[in-house]
Structure 1
Amino acid sequence: MIFIIPEEFAQKIKEWIDNKNGFDIEVINVTEMTSIANYFVIASGSSERQVKAIADNIEYEAKELEIFPKGIEGQREGRWILLDYYDVIIHIFHAEERGFYSLEKLWKDSEVSR
């Protein structure tokens, strides 16, 4: 496994999401607020197919860097997929779920990069 700084990995993930036309991409630094991760990357897709394609692309690109997830949830449904890469946790939402859950509000005091 290649070592990569969490902030750099989060920014790479942002690029990979953008490459699959994901939108409303936010990189949230939660280092000072929780011990579960250093960064959350939150993004939206307009359909279940797009949400799955974004998640698949992240998994593929990370694997190319020899970085493997600790866990993945929600792939079958494709409405909210969570990819846990230890220091970076990615939430890919269908646009409808993104508005409903509004995870950004939970971390409103964190540093956000768009």
Structure 2
Amino acid sequence: MNSKELLEKVVKAADGRRAEDIVALQVDQISPMADYFVIMTGGSDRQVQAIVNAIVEMAHSNKLEIGSVEGKNAAQWVLVDLGDVVVHVFREETRHFYNLEKLWSDAPLVNVSEWVND
């Protein structure tokens, strides 16, 4: 599975748990860390954990290696490292505080609208 296909699966898994404001940034030209960063918001600690669980389950079902899952217990900012795709699941206030979209503003946005239900 290439990184774009993985990105699509991540977005669909998150959308299935009603993640809000899903943004994907193509960072491969500005960072050696990953091809894509995916940033999204959960409305409660429980929802953040459900989104993360859905992404982890998707990775397991596709036999993908998970580098790490950081911050799941606190559920304010959970990072899921899937190698070429790094997922950030935030609570709203934490997302606004860290503002990763601004930090990585040189990275082009990826249109994920076709993968989410409105």
Question: What's the TM-score bracket when you normalise by the shorter of the two chains?
Answer: over 0.9
How much is the aligned-residue C-alpha RMSD, in angstroms? 0.8
Unpaired segments ≥5 residues, structure 2: 113-118
TM-score, length basis structure 2: 0.91
Q: Deviation of residue 110 (structure 1)? A: 1.2
User: Separation in 2 of the partners of 1:21 and 1:30?
Assistant: 25
- Number of matched pairs: 111
User: Separation in 2 of the partners of 1:35 and 1:68?
Assistant: 18
Taking only the aligned residue pairs, the percentage that are identical comes to 35
Q: Deviations over 1:63-103 (max 9, x none)?
A: 00001211110011111100001111000001110111100
Whether contact under 8 Å (1:11, 1:27) holds in the other structure is: no
TM-score, length basis structure 1: 0.94
Moved over 3 A (4+): none
Unpaired segments ≥5 residues, structure 1: none
User: Separation in 2 of the partners of 1:89 and 1:29?
Assistant: 11
Letter in 2 for 1:27: A
SS in 2 for 1:42: strand
User: Separation in 2 of the partners of 1:34 and 1:95?
Assistant: 25
Q: In the alignment, what sits opposite 1:41?
A: 38
